[in-house]
């Protein structure tokens, strides 16, 4: 029992830490998380199948292999950004294949150990493993909230070395030598981990890396990076473009709110206008402290709010200006500050005559179609709330959104600039006529207006998801994209062919139901996680906790259903379908923390109950097919259903899988009844 519990703890801890590393390879995009999660289960299923084929497979041997593989796999993920294509964002195929390869070693080793344990007492192992995983999830909450700067390889080392000690007993020279080799591999990974940080070319190797609750900051060549994305270049003037014209348009700047990764870089520019007060909203205290220290921010000149800017309460009609200084809406964590729901909340926080300011990727002379499409979607959403939306083109598109039109007369702003004694490299009395020239602004509006009927950017249909697919599909005529399409299509057809011959709903066979319920489980969990992330942006520090809830539910379900008759499977399949349909009809209920946690725990409860009732004497086989289905469900929901049909569409996909399992179960039950007669 204790060893299975330790294995469950280490398995989820390694999974949570490694998935976080992999997503940061791909700029913390949620599609990479879904792909990595699905592929982790795929490789775990492959490992379990290997263990079933090896008649003398030992759980201790598999656990020792996994203990050594996980820290080494961490190093592989840290080295991966250095081989990515320079400058361009990784495409869909690269993101899927990269995520799959980066979790292969640890995933297969994890599956091999689990498969060996499942050869006897499968329900017992499943419950103990799930309980250990739940404890690991609770530990990750403590880790990210208390000491996120502690090296992840060190965190993995303690339980890994415990496996080495267990393997060496009873003592024999061979066992001791193998355990020592594994311990040396773990120790080598711990020593090498701080030296393996890389960034995507052309960035140099980082000189400093700072772990925060929600991600990672890196300093390299005078530039700041957050989760692999460039946060600020050494000579970046975007903070001046963001702050000065909007504040010059206000006669007397009152209270100002800043939020986003660039808030501390914009702070000195805002303070030049001597506003009544400046507040910075940043829920990640470690990130705020690191940026404040490295930008020289004077704590006496601003107030730090340890809060999500979208969750500020009691401050309605409070601010004369709100500056969203965050990154582009390239993932859901950033996108949530460019949605219709965000604009409504920002409008409520502004006093009469106040202005919301943000920036979008753009260019001085040519706007790439992807940038124009993203800008059109965001601006369409802003115009649903703000009657006046002004565009100021430049290296970035600065957007001023307000209830009433702002007076942007260059002469008026130049006079305000002179009165305040403003010192700026880009915004001066001489440059204002050019920056505000009607032709430039009309050109920018015309480029964006070329996008016809842009969809609104909302929490449940995020631009960060659907624009990714649109951009990728727009490149299908390139040779590399065509090869990617062909590879995905080929793999899909091959997988369907294998499933057709391998899955069965015959009497006594439950592989078909196990695959579909596994598909349902991870598609449902992925949809709930994406919904939670789209609103809160808190998935990275909460990922382990969400896994813990799922596994705690699975452990409870496995214990409750271990002695139940097989006919319970039909009730569980019907319950899974009903839960997914309810979430699909009201996906907004999955977005607050309480809703996401309830759905994930309940999903785990149904999954664990199904496994315990279905396992019988073929636990290893059911486990492998359940994992294979989970891999397919996670990939289908995260990489296809959510981007193309929204988060509600991902829930509908999960419901379809559960209904398929129910239909197959009813057919199997009817055949079993016929055989008995």
Residues 377-435 have pLDDT tens digits of: 999 999 999 999 999 999 899 999 999 999 999 999 999 999 999 999 999 999 999 99
- Please check the confidence at residue 88 and state whether its pLDDT lies above 70: no
Phi and psi based region of residue 274 (left: phi greater than 0; alpha: psi -120 to 50; beta: remaining): left
What pLDDT band is residue 673 in, cutting at 50, 70 and 90?
A: low
Residues 457-505 have pLDDT tens digits of: 999 998 877 766 665 555 444 555 556 656 666 666 666 666 666 676 7
Locus of tokens 């990130």: 287
How far is residue 117's CA from residue 624's CA, in Å, rounded to a whole number?
A: 12
Res 290: pLDDT: 96
The three-state secondary structure class of 280 is: strand
Least confident of 243-257, 267-281, 357-371: 357-371
How far is residue 599's CA from residue 101's CA, in Å, rounded to a whole number?
A: 30
Res 475: pLDDT: 44
Beta-carbon contacts of 97 under 8 Å, excluding residues fewer than 6 positions away, are: none
Q: Which two tokens stand for residue 408?
A: 């942007």
DSSP 114-142: HHHHTTS-HHHHHHHHHHHHHHHHHHHHH
The full set of domain ranges for the chain reads 1-120+149-197, 231-465, 503-677
Locus of tokens 């294949």: 97
Q: Is the model more confident about 476 or about 648? A: 648
Residues 539-549 have pLDDT tens digits of: 988 988 898 89
Least confident of 5-14, 34-43, 480-489, 624-633: 480-489
| For range 39-48, the mean pLDDT | 88
What pLDDT band is residue 366 in, cutting at 50, 70 and 90?
A: confident
Percentage of the chain with pLDDT > 90?
60
Res 476: pLDDT: 42
Res 205: pLDDT: 92
Report the DSSP pairing between strands 216-220 and 208-211.
antiparallel
Res 526: pLDDT: 94
C-alpha distance from residue 188 to each of 163, 323, 499 (Å): 16, 45, 41
Res 492: pLDDT: 65
| For range 158-170, the mean pLDDT | 88
This prediction's pTM: 0.90
| For range 45-73, the mean pLDDT | 85
Percent of the chain that is helix, strand, coil (3-state, to 5): 65, 10, 25
Res 151: pLDDT: 95
Res 60: pLDDT: 87
Most confident range (mean pLDDT) of 75-79, 174-178, 370-374, 535-539 is 75-79
Locus of tokens 């601006």: 379
Nearest to 581 by CA among 648, 633, 627: 648
| For range 610-625, the mean pLDDT | 74
- Please check the confidence at residue 228 and state whether its pLDDT lies above 70: yes
Q: Which two tokens stand for residue 570?
A: 């039909």
Mean pLDDT of the chain: 88
Q: Which two tokens stand for residue 347?
A: 């409008």
Residues 257-304 have pLDDT tens digits of: 999 999 999 999 999 999 999 999 999 999 999 999 999 999 999 999
Q: Which residues of 468-481 are buried (b: 16+ CB within 10 A; e: fewer)?
A: bbbbbeeeeeeeeb
Cβ distance 159 to 68 under 8 Å? no
| For range 201-221, the mean pLDDT | 93
Cβ distance 112 to 57 under 8 Å? yes
231-465 topology per CATH:
Rossmann fold (3.40.50)
| For range 226-252, the mean pLDDT | 93
Q: Which two tokens stand for residue 62?
A: 């598999």
Residues 493-538 have pLDDT tens digits of: 666 666 666 676 766 677 888 899 999 999 999 999 999 999 999 9
Beta-carbon contacts of 443 under 8 Å, excluding residues fewer than 6 positions away, are: 393
503-677 topology per CATH:
Growth Hormone; Chain: A; (1.20.1250)
Beta-carbon contacts of 363 under 8 Å, excluding residues fewer than 6 positions away, are: 371, 395
Cβ distance 577 to 662 under 8 Å? yes
Q: Is the model more confident about 677 or about 541? A: 541
Nearest to 627 by CA among 112, 120, 156: 112
DSSP 167-209: HT-S--HHHHHHHHHHHHHHHHHHHHGGG----STTS---SEE
Angle between helical axes of 104-117 and 92-102 (0-180°, round to 10): 50
**Cα dihedral 80, 86, 87, 91 sign:** negative
How far is residue 658's CA from residue 664's CA, in Å, rounded to a whole number?
A: 10
| For range 115-143, the mean pLDDT | 83
* Element holding 445 (H helix, E strand): helix 438-449
How far is residue 267's CA from residue 244's CA, in Å, rounded to a whole number?
A: 11
How far is residue 554's CA from residue 532's CA, in Å, rounded to a whole number?
A: 20
Res 78: pLDDT: 96
Query: What are the backbone angles phi and psi of residue 212, rounded to the nearest 5°?
Result: -125, 175
């Amino acid at each position: 029992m204790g060893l299975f519990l330790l294995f469950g703890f280490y398995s989820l801890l390694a999974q949570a830490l490694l998935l976080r590393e992999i997503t940061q390879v791909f700029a913390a995009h949620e599609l990479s998380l879904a792909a990595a999660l699905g592929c982790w289960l795929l490789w775990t299923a492959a490992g379990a199948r290997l263990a079933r084929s090896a008649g003398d497979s030992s759980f201790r041997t598999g656990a020792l292999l996994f203990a050594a593989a996980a820290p080494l796999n961490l190093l592989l993920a840290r080295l991966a950004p250095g081989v990515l294509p320079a400058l361009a964002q990784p495409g869909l195929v690269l993101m899927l294949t990269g995520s799959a390869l980066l979790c292969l070693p640890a995933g297969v080793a994890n599956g091999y150990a689990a498969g060996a344990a499942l050869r006897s007492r499968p329900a017992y192992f499943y419950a103990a493993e799930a309980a250990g995983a739940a404890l690991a999830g609770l530990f990750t909450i403590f880790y990210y909230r208390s000491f996120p700067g502690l090296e992840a390889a060190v965190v993995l080392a303690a339980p890994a070395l415990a496996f080495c000690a267990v393997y060496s007993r009873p003592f024999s020279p061979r066992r001791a030598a193998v355990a020592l080799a594994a311990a040396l591999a773990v120790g080598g990974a711990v020593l090498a981990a701080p030296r393996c940080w890389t960034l995507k070319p052309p960035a140099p190797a980082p000189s400093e890396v700072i772990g925060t609750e929600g991600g990672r900051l890196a300093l390299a060549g005078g530039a700041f990076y957050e989760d692999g994305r460039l946060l600020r270049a050494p000579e970046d003037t975007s903070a001046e473009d963001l702050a000065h014209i909007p504040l010059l348009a206000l006669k007397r700047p009152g209270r100002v709110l800043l939020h986003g990764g660039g808030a501390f870089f914009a702070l000195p520019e805002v303070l030049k206008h001597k506003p009544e007060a400046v507040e910075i909203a940043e829920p990640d205290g470690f990130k705020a402290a690191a940026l404040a220290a490295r930008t020289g921010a004077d704590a006496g000149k601003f107030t730090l709010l340890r809060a999500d800017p979208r969750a500020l309460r009691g401050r309605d009609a409070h601010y004369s200006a709100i500056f969203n200084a965050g990154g582009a809406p390239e993932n859901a964590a950033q996108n949530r500050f460019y949605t219709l729901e965000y604009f409504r909340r920002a409008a409520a926080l502004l006093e009469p005559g106040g202005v919301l300011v943000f920036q979008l990727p753009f260019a001085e002379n040519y706007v790439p179609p992807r940038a124009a499409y993203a800008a059109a979607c965001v601006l369409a959403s802003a115009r649903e709330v703000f009657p006046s939306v002004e565009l100021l083109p430049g290296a970035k598109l600065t957007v001023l959104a307000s209830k009433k039109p702002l007076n942007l007369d260059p002469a008026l702003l130049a006079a305000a600039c002179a009165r305040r004694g403003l010192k700026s490299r880009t915004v001066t009395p001489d440059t204002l006529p050019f920056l505000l020239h009607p032709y430039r602004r009309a050109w920018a509006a015309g480029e964006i207006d070329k996008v016809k009927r842009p969809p609104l950017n909302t929490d449940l249909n995020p631009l960060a998801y659907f624009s990714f697919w649109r951009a990728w599909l727009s490149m299908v005529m390139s040779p590399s994209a065509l090869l990617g399409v062909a590879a995905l299509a080929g793999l899909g057809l091959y997988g369907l062919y294998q499933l057709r011959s391998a899955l069965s709903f015959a009497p006594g066979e439950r592989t078909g139901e196990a695959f579909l319920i596994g598909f349902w489980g991870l598609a449902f969990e992925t949809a709930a996680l994406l919904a939670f992330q789209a609103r809160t942006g808190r998935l990275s520090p909460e990922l382990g906790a969400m896994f813990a809830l799922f596994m705690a539910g699975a452990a409870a379900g496995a214990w409750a259903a271990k002695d139940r008759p097989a006919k319970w499977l039909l009730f569980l399949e019907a319950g899974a379908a009903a839960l997914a349909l309810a979430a699909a009809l009201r996906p907004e209920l999955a977005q607050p923390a309480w809703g996401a946690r309830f759905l994930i725990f309940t999903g785990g409860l149904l999954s664990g109950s199904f496994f315990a009732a279905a396992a019988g004497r073929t636990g290893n086989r059911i486990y492998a097919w359940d994992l294979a289905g989970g891999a397919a469900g996670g990939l289908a929901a995260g990489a296809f259903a959510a981007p193309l049909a929204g988060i509600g569409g991902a829930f509908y996909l999960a419901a379809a899988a559960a209904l398929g399992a129910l239909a197959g179960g009813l057919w199997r039950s009817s055949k079993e009844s016929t055989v008995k007669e």
